[in-house]
Structure 1
Amino acid sequence: MDKKLTLSLNEKIIERAKHYAKSNNVSLSKLIESYLSTLTKREKKEPEITPLVESLSGVISIEDDFDVKDSYTQYLMEKYK
């Protein structure tokens, strides 16, 4: 069952969306419906781990108290001395 929905959007965005919909031979309503449908899907697929990535898992060991931001900051300070 379809229902009407009123939206308030920036005029430039509306014009760009209309142009996009027209150039893809789809109505603006269907375009927005498709976007919202994709956005609100309940299924979240787990990313597939490729054999290469799995073979690399555990190759590097990092200390428990390793601070990534601090390490990167130190790297940048050395790089741009």
Structure 2
Amino acid sequence: MDTKLTLRLDKETIERVKIYASKQKKSLSKLTEELYKSFLMRSNDDCQSEIRSPIAKKYKGIISNTDFDAEFHKLTYLRDKHLP
């Protein structure tokens, strides 16, 4: 069931979004709905664990050593990079 929603945005943003929606051949309402659905999917706990980056997918599981301390290595890298 569709329900009406009123949003207040500055005029320039509205004009730019209207142009974008027109180029996408979508209504402002449809574009807004897709935006919120996308936001909700990303904030969903199940989706947060999903790897979206192709590079991350490629290297997922490459480190199988359970003794690997990522935090230690991160701090070592940052220390070496930023401290003389």
TM-score, structure 1 as length reference: 0.65
The structure number with the bigger radius of gyration is 1
1:34 aligns with 2:38: no
TM-score, structure 2 as length reference: 0.63
The AA in structure 2 aligned to 1:14 is: I
Say which structure is richer in helix: 2
- In structure 1, distance between residues paired with 2:62 and 2:79: 30
How many pairs are equivalent?
A: 76
- In structure 2, distance between residues paired with 1:55 and 1:73: 25
Q: Which runs of 5+ in 1 are unaligned?
A: none
Show the counterpart of 2:5: 5
- In structure 2, distance between residues paired with 1:14 and 1:31: 12
Show the counterpart of 1:72: 78
Query: Matched residues, percent identical?
Result: 29
Question: 2:65 pairs with 50, 53, 58, which one?
Answer: 58
- In structure 1, distance between residues paired with 2:33 and 2:20: 14
Q: Give 3-state SS (helix, strand or coil) of 2:61's partner.
A: helix
Show the counterpart of 2:51: 47
What is the CA RMSD across the aligned residues, in angstroms? 3.3
* Deviation digits for residues 20-53 of structure 1 (CA, Å, limit 9, x no counterpart): 0001100001000111112113441522775744
